[in-house]
A and B are shown apart, each in its own frame.
Chain A
Amino acid sequence: MSVAPTLLAVEDLTKSYGGVHAVRGVSFSVAAGEIVALIGPNGAGKSTCFDMLNGQKTPDRGRVRLLGEDITGRPPRAVWRLGVGRTFQITATFPTMTVRENVQVALVSYANKIFNVWRSTPDFERGEADRLLELVGVGGYAERPCGELAYGDLKRLELAIALANHPRLLLMDEPTAGMAPRERIELMRLTARIAREQSIGVLFTEHDMDVVFEHANRILVLNRGTLIAEGSPDDVRRDPQVRAIYLGEGLVYDARHREGAGA
């Protein structure tokens, strides 16, 4: 990969809840167009990291910079306006709206038409909404109440919403949780393609090591709030510390496993 400008730079990020050190002194960066996986066992602090990156939570210490600009402690809506899209571990959508309207609301916000009181939202940039839905593969459900979607499709819808503001950076917390293995690979392929085409940086967490090793350009390993390894998929795969952590979870990635899944 050619040298891309640093998109996201995180320094010494730290957060504790009472006595629990959820995240401790985490530093890393993501370049434009780069796909970075943040992995680690449950409770390692991945979601907490994400929450601090988009302003959902304020770090106790540390800085978050987007294209050099310090965005630490800004509210989520401000971070979003700077071009950071986010999907949640537990999907957050608007259940009483149709699938298309979910995207249209994001488009309304992107166009700064929130306080417009006379236009009709169901007609607002319908074409663009449908294009995004088509892109993530739920175009056929545009008119369906969003509450009726299967969980996997909700994840896709979240991706469409996150893409509505032409983001520079996508934060995806367990984007494929609750999906069938084939669907996971498919969704990540799609995400990788979009990221490549639009030069979007992607930071994602994932439990499925097949997905991680196939798509990540770089992997960060978090354990009990600290970054214990970082590097290319091959480096991380060979790291003894990582193996030790993952052995317990039965998630060790090795060549045999890969052949089995790829067949």
Chain B
Amino acid sequence: MSDLVEVKNLVRDFDVSAPWLNRVLERKPKAILQAVSNVSFNIARNSVYALVGESGSGKSTIGKIIVGLLPPTAGTIKIDGIDPAHEPDKAKIAAMQVGIQMIFQDPYASLNPRWKVGDIIAEPVTARGGKADGLAQKLLEQVGLSGADVNKYPHEFSGGQRQRICIARALAAEPKLIVCDEPTSALDVSVQAQVLNLMSDLREEFGLTYLFISHDLTIVQHMADTVGVLYLGRLIEEAPREALFADPKHPYTKMLLEAAPKLDGFGREVEPPKGEIPDPIHPPTGCAYHPRCPIAVDRCTKERPEMEQKGKGRVACFLAV
């Protein structure tokens, strides 16, 4: 069977120009921010694919495009073999789209405070005119809450419990793919473990596939089967988890792994990384990482490296071995 998700040459531009009148008056050119730049990757069925990268690298934008919240500027996305942009059968697209659910970072903002939890959870089903008798109770129990909680309101729950409610709602649609955007970064460590364990259990029980977006490498190392590393909208490395953490190939990935604080790093002296992420509206020429890269050569400043198979994964670096 083909992979569940196939993303090919995905591009997403945002127009971040000043309003046109100001632009004319101040003689400013149009400004385009390329949040996602020619990104290609596949997600295998029943696997966890993690997208990592620093703030502004395009993780959330890719997640939103995959669940259909944002249209791509260019490129294709196939889910279960269906490309929503080119599929003539509308019913097929609709069926595919309910099969993709998203869980957001902030479990407070994503639940309607005036709805009872039972109604929130059953909504993906009732919205399509489906029968939802007893569904919410069953799902609440599945995520470790009590079936009696259906009549409560979101504010009666803690952060971790609310994220479970979000997960229960996502499950109601019987999804194949769940896109999780920083699902635990608003949660405390002791509660984070509860949610991560739940996600692992559900994956086995329902054969779920996850796109797991996070900037926290320790969580990614725990959860992912495959890891994709983004820098300034570009995928710069992808490898199976073990290969990536044991033998990162891209200088940026190396820097990220080195810079991340380690729980057993007592007294560790880190050579602090150079520089900062450049302005995304005016990205560097060639390889976007070259101004910060310790091994960059002349070619890196002129030519953009493409992703190439190296070892167990793919990497976009002329100098990677």
A in complex with B: no
